[in-house]
Structure 1
């Protein structure tokens, strides 16, 4: 399956998303689920319009593909700010709270190593939560 990257970014009052390298596909929403649904709907509309009006469906959207959702660190920290405290994130990532505040405010962008560290910690937490049965 071909990966198709969806970039999610913080907008003024919500989140916006677009496909990397493919024009005409975008979505807005207040949650990741809204963004996912909006992107999928937008792709379907584009395909239908291409068929109806004789346009060319982008190569990446032909056949089997997988949507990969990417957010920058600032957007992730903002999106989950009501769920994760900076002290909680420090415990699971090992990244100093002050650094996390800088990243969240946009005063500094994390080095790629720090972004990866945060991503791995969040994925590990997700895997641990998925393993729990209640």
Structure 2
């Protein structure tokens, strides 16, 4: 069974991870100062829930997770790999604006989110076609 886990930046600047449409008989969440910490806390909570079910001798339903990010969480999670300057070239969105999204000072509109997502997918597709000798 696979579940989507939404990663979001909260108004207090921390990050949360939760199952968007939970169809499991248990609930798990994760929290952290960064998106990466929230994901790790979420996975730790999952392992703890698994151990709890074993201890109570209850059947545990396994799940795999697909992590889905809001823009602030995505920018935070990949900040060590993708610079704002690089993202500006990929997405066409000014790095100053991207910085506002990263810090939570502004939230992108739906069209902006779609533009970022489409351009990142296009970039990923272009990378798949690259051949090195």
Calculate the TM-score normalised by the size of structure 1. 0.64
> Retained in 1: the 8 A contact 2:6–2:69?
yes
**Corresponding residue number in structure 1 for 2:88:** 90
Establish whether residue 35 from structure 1 lines up as the match of residue 34 from structure 2.
no
Given candidates 67, 80, 83, the residue that maps to 2:65 is 67
**Corresponding residue number in structure 1 for 2:7:** 8
2-11 or 27-36, larger mean C-alpha shift: 27-36
The number of residue pairs the alignment matches comes to 127
Taking only aligned residues, the RMSD between alpha carbons, in angstroms, comes to 3.6
**Corresponding residue number in structure 2 for 1:114:** 112
- What is the rounded CA distance, in whole Å, between the counterparts of 2:31 and 2:38 in structure 1? 8
**Corresponding residue number in structure 2 for 1:19:** 19
Calculate the TM-score normalised by the size of structure 2. 0.64
1:76 to partner: Cα distance: 1.7
Structure 1 unmatched ranges of 5 or more: none
> Retained in 2: the 8 A contact 1:18–1:27?
no
> Retained in 2: the 8 A contact 1:25–1:46?
no
1:92 to partner: Cα distance: 1.4
- What is the rounded CA distance, in whole Å, between the counterparts of 1:133 and 1:39 in structure 2? 37
- What is the rounded CA distance, in whole Å, between the counterparts of 2:49 and 2:5 in structure 1? 15
- What is the rounded CA distance, in whole Å, between the counterparts of 2:103 and 2:31 in structure 1? 24
Other structure's SS at 2:101 match: helix
